[in-house]
């Protein structure tokens, strides 16, 4: 066995050379890996005894793509294209032996090989789109030549990982080998190729599938139309489509040129930078500086939930979904029955949509027990309280739990606003108390804010994070403060949105600007959807806000057919002349001189105070790092991924620009815009939010 370099070895087994890459964690195509491929193939070519070459990887996976950390840095070592040419134009067959995942540049390497074998558990995909990119090493030109443009469009715009058996059916893989015996299987395959004198199969030379689609532009126009909503705001899906179009309409080498040009545009753009930031942020968020990975955890085999309302029921489903038994407690039989019936209905709907079988529905429901007695929670390992948001009620619940639930269990609250340190004073074991702030609908939304209180123990934190992963959430560890991270930042935007409509904008102006920015909907459309009367009561209403006035008029949102907007029978929103008049009258009564407000001002006034609040949160240590704040806002509030979250967006705009605007607004409108000390510091030191 010869070492080609630190990460590559070459071994000859009879007439087959085995080129092995070993670059943990995922054999990404870093400079040494590219060099290893390049020089390894070259050496194997120079050895006359070698008749075929197997390219295989050590560790948990085949090459998982380009090394994302290299993007934006000066190129070093042989280019990926040098390595790919070395493979594709080799005069001896090169066989890719795939296990784990062949992704992005990894699959592109495999596609330049003349044959591909894989173990049944392997997966292939071109997930570049999720990083705001397109496959830039020939993937968009080679893939449609094997699987046809329709399937290629699907794969490159979804980034999905396709299982080996499906790959075999599609022709992406030539043969499956026995699980765990990839090396032997690949060598045997190579020998067979040599013995049968099979020709070198170059994907670039295949033309039937792309030619069959030539002159059929509807393939692309229909695909664009069908996915318009999903792709809204993102550049990468459209660029990927254009590359597949080029594969269909242009000769291979011309298509490659289009791919390279569009790849360069994307990789140097802000969207891809943002999406790459999110990729790493999603992995960083689990790393807790003072709760190391080896912190002991508490086994959780039984979960208790108090409250069978929308929130409690949704939370319960998360645990039932992964096979954990749940006991749900309510005070009244009727409420309990209703809660359990809703869970069943949700599962049955999923089964009807084909997501799983009716047996699965019964299996999950079989894990659920209802009770009217809190005593039923005595042997739970984790209890989550999801009752009415009232401090006295919560403290009573916790004090009761303290007396009932076994020692060592975790006592969690789903509060979205109350002080968890205060809740913890109701028990004799404050170290067991933690916030698990689920977002509604709790069975759907990916975000979980794990809120550590002053006395929460490290095993309780570590267990909560581990459990979040188990139920498929992305969890951010945050500290106790009003609204925690997500809602505290939201409050800034809501305040400005309300002020803006009094000062001169209309709700639909604010909503349009934020929708165009990439949010799923603006604050007023959101209020209409949720119901304007959440937390509003007729008795206490004094007509002091626009909301009061609207609720008093029974304009309570979509459910009443009117709110900030008017709705038709299909719930389509229309700007409302009634609301316009209410706003104008209200402003006049308050003596506000309305003025024309630009779209830029709407955006800056809604978003910059959010960034500023994020800086305060960091300053106070309520979030571990700025990228955690981005994770919260992307997964809990639909902040556009292609902007990287509010803090990354702050870096994209420039902290200095954000600070200058905040100061300008502060001078005009007061201390709602007072810059955070950390924002001032970042600008003074020439740093970025992402440095914190
Ligand atoms: C591309 O290929 C462009 C080309 O078309 C064109 C070129 C011209 N680079 O996810 P995990 C790190 S774009 C660098 O926790 P898992 C990751 O940060 C690329 N680092 O493991 C983590 O580090 P840490 C297209 C990478 O088992 C560690 O590896 N490819 C890369 O849950 C473990 O990762 C993709 O988009 C990388 N490419 O999942 C695939 N990938 O331990 C991206 C991972 O310090 N990767 N790291 O936190 C994945 O989807 C998953 O990592 C994978 C393993 C499924 C492979």
**Which residue has a Cα nearest atom 46 of ligand 1?**
64
- CB 109 near ligand 1, within 6 Å: no
Q: What percent of the chain has pLDDT over 70?
A: 100
- Residues serving a catalytic function are 108, 128
Which residues pair with residue 37 across a beta bridge? none
Could you identify the atom of ligand 1 that is nearest to the CA of residue 131?
36
Tell me, what's the pLDDT at 74?
Answer: 82
Does 108 contact ligand 1 (Cβ within 6 A)?
yes
519 CA to centre of ligand 1 in angstroms: 27
- Residues 390 and 393: their CA atoms lie apart, in Å, by 5
Spatial contact of 134 and 140, defined as CB atoms under 8 Å apart: yes
Task: Indicate which residue's Cα is closest to atom 53 of ligand 1.
Answer: 64
Mean of pLDDT over the chain: 96
CB-based contacts of 520, cutoff 8 Å, min separation 6? 638
101 lines ligand 1 (CB under 6 A): yes
β-sheet bridge partners, residue 575: 565
CA–CA gap between residue 171 and residue 47 (Å, rounded): 31
What are the tokens at 184? Answer: 């032997």
Ligand 1 centroid vs 140 CA: distance in angstroms?
20
- Chain segment 119-135, per-residue pLDDT in tens: 999 999 999 999 999 99
For residue 300, count other CB atoms closer than 10 A to its CB: 18
What is the phi/psi pair of residue 678, to 5°? -65, -35
Q: Atom 32 (ligand 1): residue with closest C-alpha?
A: 283
User: 505-510+521-589 has which fold?
Assistant: 1.10.1040
Nearest atom of ligand 1 to the alpha carbon of 60: 27
Kindly give the distance from the C-alpha atom of residue 651 to the centroid of ligand 1, in angstroms, as a whole number.
Answer: 24
Q: Please give the Cα distance from 356 to 349 (Å, whole number).
A: 10
Identify the residue whose C-alpha is closest to ligand 1 atom 10.
283
Q: What digits encode the pLDDT tens for the residues 388-407?
A: 888 999 999 999 999 999 99
Q: Over the stretch 307-357, which tens digit does the pLDDT of each residue have?
A: 999 999 999 999 999 999 999 999 999 999 999 999 999 999 999 999 999
Whether pLDDT at 97 is above 90: yes
Task: Map out the domains of the chain as residue ranges.
Answer: 2-267, 303-485, 505-510+521-589
How far is residue 449's CA from residue 486's CA, in Å, rounded to a whole number?
A: 8
User: Domain 303-485 is classified in which CATH homologous superfamily?
Assistant: NAD(P)-binding Rossmann-like Domain (3.40.50.720)
638 in the Ramachandran plot: left (φ > 0), alpha (ψ -120 to 50) or beta?
left
Phi/psi at 166 (nearest 5 deg)? -65, -40
Long-range pairs for 684-692 at CB < 8 Å and ≥24 separation? Answer: 687/655, 688/651, 688/655, 689/611, 689/614, 689/615, 689/618, 689/626, 689/647, 689/648, 689/650, 689/651, 689/655, 690/277, 690/626, 690/627, 690/647, 690/648, 690/651, 692/618, 692/625, 692/626
Angle at alpha carbon of residue 211, lines to 206 and 213, rounded to 5°: 125
Q: Is the pLDDT of residue 174 over 80?
A: yes
CA of 429 to the centre of ligand 1 (A): 41
Q: List pLDDT tens digits, range 212-269.
A: 999 999 999 999 999 999 999 999 999 999 999 999 999 999 999 999 999 999 999 9
Q: Could you tell me where the beta strands, DSSP code E, fall in 521-622?
A: 565-567, 573-575
Q: Can you tell me the distance from the alpha carbon of 114 to that of 572, in angstroms, rounded to the nearest whole number? A: 54
Collect all residues with Cβ–Cβ distance below 8 Å to 321 and sequence separation of at least 6.
364, 443, 471, 472
Pairing of the two strands 175-176 and 368-371: unpaired
In the CATH hierarchy, which top-level class contains the domain 2-267?
alpha beta
Q: Is 628 in the pocket of ligand 1 (CB under 6 A)?
A: no
Residues shown for the chain = 692
Alpha carbon separation from 336 to 332, 361, 450 (Å, rounded):
6, 19, 27
Beta carbon of 135 within 6 Å of any ligand 1 atom: yes
Q: Is 28 in the pocket of ligand 1 (CB under 6 A)?
A: yes
Q: Which helix (H) or strand (E) holds 3?
A: strand 2-5
Mutate to test the pocket of ligand 1, among 29, 59, 62, 64 (most ligand atoms within 8 A of CB): 64
Residue 464 Cα to ligand 1 middle (Å): 25
CA of 76 to the centre of ligand 1 (A): 20
| 8 C-beta closer than 6 A to ligand 1 | no
* pLDDT greater than 80 at residue 305: yes
Q: Is the pLDDT of residue 27 over 80?
A: yes
- Residue burial 351-362, b: 16+ Cβ < 10 Å; e: rest: beeeeeeeeebe
Q: Confidence class of residue 420 from pLDDT cuts 50, 70 and 90?
A: very high
Tokens of 108: 């592109």
Report yes or no: 453 and 424 within 8 Å, Cβ to Cβ: yes
pLDDT digit string (tens) for 535-569?
788 888 787 888 888 999 999 999 899 999 999 98
**pLDDT tens digits along 485-536:** 999 999 999 999 999 999 999 999 999 999 999 999 999 999 999 888 887 8
Would you say the CB of residue 75 lies under 6 angstroms from ligand 1?
A: no
Tokens, residue 1:
């066995």
| pTM, rounded to two decimals | 0.93
Over residues 601-605, mean pLDDT = 98
Distance 104 CA to ligand 1 centre (A): 9
Please work out whether the CB of residue 4 comes within 6 Å of at least one atom of ligand 1: no
């Amino acid at each position: 066995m010869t070492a080609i370099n630190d990460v590559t070895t070459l071994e000859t087994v009879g007439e087959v050379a085995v080129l092995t890459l070993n670059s943990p964690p995922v054999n990404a195509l870093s400079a040494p890996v590219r060099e290893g491929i390049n020089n390894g193939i070259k050496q194997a070519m120079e050895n006359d005894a070698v008749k075929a070459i197997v390219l295989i990887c050590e560790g948990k996976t085949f090459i998982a793509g380009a090394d994302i950390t290299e993007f934006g840095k000066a190129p070093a070592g042989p280019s990926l294209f040098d390595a790919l040419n070395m493979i594709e134009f080799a005069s001896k067959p090169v066989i890719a032996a795939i296990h784990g995942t062949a992704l992005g540049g990894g699959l592109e390497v495999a596609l330049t090989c003349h044959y591909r074998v894989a173990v049944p558990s392997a997966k292939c995909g071109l997930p570049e789109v999720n990083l705001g990119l397109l496959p830039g090493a020939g993937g968009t030109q080679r893939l449609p030549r094997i699987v046809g443009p329709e399937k290629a469009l699907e794969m490159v715009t979804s980034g999905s990982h396709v299982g080996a058996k499906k790959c075999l059916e599609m022709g992406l893989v030539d043969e499956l080998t026995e699980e765990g015996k990839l090396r032997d299987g690949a060598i045997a395959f190579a020998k067979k190729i040599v013995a049968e004198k099979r020709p070198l199969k170059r994907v670039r030379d295949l033309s039937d599938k792309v030619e069959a689609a030539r002159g059929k532009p509807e393939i692309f126009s229909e695909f664009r139309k069908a996915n318009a909503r999903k792709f809204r705001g993102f550049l990468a899906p459209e660029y990927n489509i254009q590359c597949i179009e080029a594969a269909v309409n242009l000769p291979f080498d011309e298509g490659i040129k289009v791919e390279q040009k569009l790849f360069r545009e994307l990789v140097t753009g802000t969207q891809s930078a943002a999406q790459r930031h999110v990729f790493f942020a999603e992995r960083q968020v689990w790393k807790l500086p003072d709760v190391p990975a080896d912190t002991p955890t508490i086994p959780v085999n039984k979960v208790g939930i108090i409250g069978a309302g929308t929130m409690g029921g949704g939370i319960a489903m998360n645990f039932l979904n992964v096979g954990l038994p749940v006991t749900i407690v309510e005070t009244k039989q009727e409420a309990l029955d209703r809660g359990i019936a809703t869970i069943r209905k949700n599962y049955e709907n999923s089964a009807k949509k084909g997501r799983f079988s009716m047996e699965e529905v019964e299996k999950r429901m079989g894990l659920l027990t209802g009770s009217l007695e809190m005593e039923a929670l005595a042997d739970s390992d984790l209890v989550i309280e999801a009752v009415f948001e009232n401090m006295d009620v919560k403290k009573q619940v916790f004090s009761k739990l303290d007396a009932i639930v076994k020692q060592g269990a975790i006592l969690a609250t789903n509060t979205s606003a109350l002080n968890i340190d205060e809740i913890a004073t109701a028990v004799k074991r404050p170290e067991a108390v933690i916030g698990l702030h689920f977002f509604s609908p709790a069975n759907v939304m990916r975000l979980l804010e794990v809120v550590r209180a002053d006395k929460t123990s490290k095993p309780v934190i570590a267990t909560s994070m581990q459990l979040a992963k188990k139920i498929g959430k992305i969890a951010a560890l945050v500290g106790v403060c009003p609204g925690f991270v997500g809602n505290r930042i939201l409050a800034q935007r809501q305040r400005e949105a309300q002020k803006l409509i009094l000062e001169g904008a209309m709700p639909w102006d604010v909503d349009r600007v934020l929708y165009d920015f990439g949010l799923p909907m603006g604050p007023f459309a959101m209020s209409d959807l949720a119901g304007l009367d959440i937390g509003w009561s007729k008795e206490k209403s004094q007509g002091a806000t626009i909301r009061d006035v609207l609720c008093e008029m029974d304009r309570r949102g979509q459910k009443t057919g009117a709110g900030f907007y008017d709705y038709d029978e299909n719930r389509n929103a229309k700007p409302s002349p009634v609301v316009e008049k209410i706003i104008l009258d209200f402003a006049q009564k308050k003596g506000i001189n309305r003025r024309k407000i630009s779209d830029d001002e709407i955006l800056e006034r809604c978003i910059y105070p959010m960034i500023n609040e994020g800086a305060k949160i960091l300053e106070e240590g309520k979030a571990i790092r700025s990228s955690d704040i981005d994770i919260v806002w992307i997964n809990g509030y639909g902040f556009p991924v292609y902007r990287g979250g509010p803090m990354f967006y702050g870096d994209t705009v420039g902290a200095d620009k954000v600070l200058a605007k905040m100061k300008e607004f502060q001078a005009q409108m007061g201390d709602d815009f007072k810059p955070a000390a950390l924002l001032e510091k970042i600008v003074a030191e020439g740093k970025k939010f992402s440095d914190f």
